[in-house]
Amino acid sequence: MYTESIIPTVSLNSERSSRTNSTNCVDSDSKDSDSGKESASDSFNSLIEDRVEENYSNCLDDCIDVKCTGTQYSVPYGEDQCKVIKKRSLCCNSVTQTAWGVLLIIISISGFVFSPLDFMLWEKLNMRPGLPPYEWWANPPDEVKMRAYIFNVTNHERFMKGLDKKLNLQEIGPIVYLEKLQHYDIKFNENSTLTYTAKRSLIYLPDENTYDLNATIIVPNLAVLGMASFLHDSNYFVRAAFRLLVNAHGSEFFVNRTLYEYLWDYRDPVLVTSKNIVPSLVPVDNMGFLKRMYSDFIDEVTVEIGSERGHDNFFQINRFRGEPQLPGYDPAICPDRIFGSTEGVMYHQHITKQDVLLYWRKTVCKLMPLYFESELSMDEVPLYRYNLSEVVFERVRNGTDCYDTSPSLPSGLSDASKCYFNFPIVVSYPHFYTGSPPKDHYVTGLTPDREKHNSYVVVEPITGVPFRAVARMQSNLRMHDLSLFTAEYKKFSNHVIPLFWAEYSQEGLPTVIKWTIYFMVVILPPLSVIIFILTLLLGSFLITRQMYDLKIIKKFIPCIIQLKNKNKTVSSNKIFLYEKESFIKLPS
């Protein structure tokens, strides 16, 4: 009597495989039978045919696992063992690897067409709350400083006596303040615009100032000279009433004021009385320069955002105080529009060297165009420098000049009276540095210097973020023809008296913003190219490998060949013929 044992196994011999490029799947079956050879043969055939198909599947799975792991072993074909083999082969399953390969190729191609930087810039257009672009704008860093320079008159007595024909000026300053910018009442509109309220205020910086604000200077009496110029073409009775008012209060043409009074608390009895008598003509009784500039520095601004507006129009002003034109100007007369300009906090994206950046500053009361000058680098970030046009204050000869008066102003001066209650204020470059008007034409003592007195912005062209910006403007008192007044007034006829000039300087960026921009424009583009090239190569490798492995499997695994030839009899297989003959030859 023989003991019955059925042990199906797979013997994978790597050495033999390398010679024959095939794997032998061996099925050993021993059975003790008391029946005859013929019945044993029939029973064996039946048994073999039932077991081949089952063991073939196990053999195929095992062969795949061997291909993936590169090991050599013999595995029993139980149900649990098959599950383990299938799980272990999931990572290198041909379908899975092909899918990953296709996905990686799609990702890499998409990354080349629409890069991560493009995605970040496109997302910035929407200014979504919670993301860095919105948060940095909503809470601007305190990086803008305002420096005020005041002109002290050194020869006012000689001028009034007729000994000097021109006033001589001495520059005092700088007096340094921090300009605080706040954005609030932020509202997203349905037409891809953003409306907000911008408020600017000044904070005195004692550690950066060397001048005592209580120090006194001699300055023109703005109440007397300014109102005289304002009333230069009034009728006789108005002029006579004004002269009586000046004489009654004993007001002089030049006054002694502290630096603080000149900037913040400039009052005069003539001004106070005039406001009480004619409030429509004299709406304020304090003519301190900074007081006037910042008392009404709360503006409602609407800017363009969103993908519908695109990169070129991003954050450009759509409305200022609800209107598309310059405040105080008649749109039927002045063709200039505030549309398309910016307050300088943020410029549009993808700036080119051919672009003209329009800067709007209410204190200048004029749109200021900036033109490309040069390329430079700051903190290892490539930047563009744009300079304010040096002919921006020239008279327009063949078109409508919105910034002229009657009688006409000389070149180099721009009317700003519409932003200052029609008070005769004109703006120019500091110290008339462009030579227009000539520096000694009206006064003496000016020292123009292009490096100290020009205006520019240094901007990162891809994101439109300004790294440095300097705006410098001078305020002057424009004296009209005062020949209808007395002889003392006539000394000031047709003069332009510089009063003070201011510099607004954005001095760098916070570290977090600076490094973010550096990462976006310097590190991210080449890094993304490297990543997407590697992704493309990996995806191509996975697909190519599967195409190659499919050919190897067909040659390497005889189980697949047997599956294609299932209709052939088992007896045609040499392995099973050998087993069959061995079984039949067993002694009964």
Binned average pLDDT, 10 residues per bin, the chain of 588 residues: 42 40 41 45 48 45 42 50 58 73 83 85 92 90 90 95 94 94 93 94 94 95 92 89 91 94 93 84 85 88 92 92 84 82 91 93 88 93 95 83 88 90 91 93 95 95 94 95 90 94 90 91 90 87 76 55 54 57 60
Token pair of 483 as six digits: 């020949």
Is the C-alpha dihedral spanning 93, 98, 101, 107 positive or negative?
negative
Question: What is the reported pLDDT for 482?
Answer: 92
Which pLDDT score is estimated for 79? 60
Chain centre distance of CA 367 = 23
The confidence score (pLDDT) of residue 259 equals: 96
Provide φ and ψ at 250, rounded to 5°.
65, 30
Under a CB-based contact definition with an 8 Å cutoff, are residues 453 and 472 in contact?
yes
Position 450 scores a pLDDT of: 93
Residue 259 near residue 219 (C-beta atoms within 8 A): no
Nearest to 514 by CA among 463, 469, 471, 470: 463
Do you know the residue count of the chain? Answer: 588
- CB-based contact 419:329 (threshold 8 Å): no
pLDDT of residue 61: 45
Find where tokens 């549309």 sit: 339
Domain ranges (residues) in the chain: 5-92+557-584, 142-509
> CA-based diameter of the chain, in Å?
151
DSSP 519: I
Angle ∠(389,480,502) on CA atoms, nearest 5? 40
pLDDT of residue 396: 83
